[in-house]
Amino acid sequence: MPNITVELLAGRTIEQRRAFAAAVADQAVDILGARRQDVRMVFSEITPDIVANGGVLASEDDSRAGVVAALADGS
């Protein structure tokens, strides 16, 4: 039984999580030979102030400002 943990910046829609879960489950079935009903995923939402990339908080990284703003706006 594959147990998959997914960490995402907060703001993804239920539709996005649903589509992602379906796609990952499809691949687990195809690649791992798992039964679809045995593929478990847990989504953990994180905020940009508790994750850093390259030593810079996502909330303070100008190169990620558009992504962070879009998630905050629900876009």
DSSP 6-72: EEEETT--HHHHHHHHHHHHHHIIIII---GGG-EEEEEEE-GGG-EETTEEGGG-GGGHHHHHHHH
pTM of the model: 0.79
The pLDDT score that the predictor gives to residue 40 is: 98
Tens of pLDDT, residue by residue over 3-34, are 999 999 899 999 999 999 999 999 999 999 99
Q: Is the pLDDT reported for residue 47 higher than 80?
A: yes
Indicate the average pLDDT of the chain: 91
Average pLDDT over residues 62-71: 80
pLDDT at 75: 62
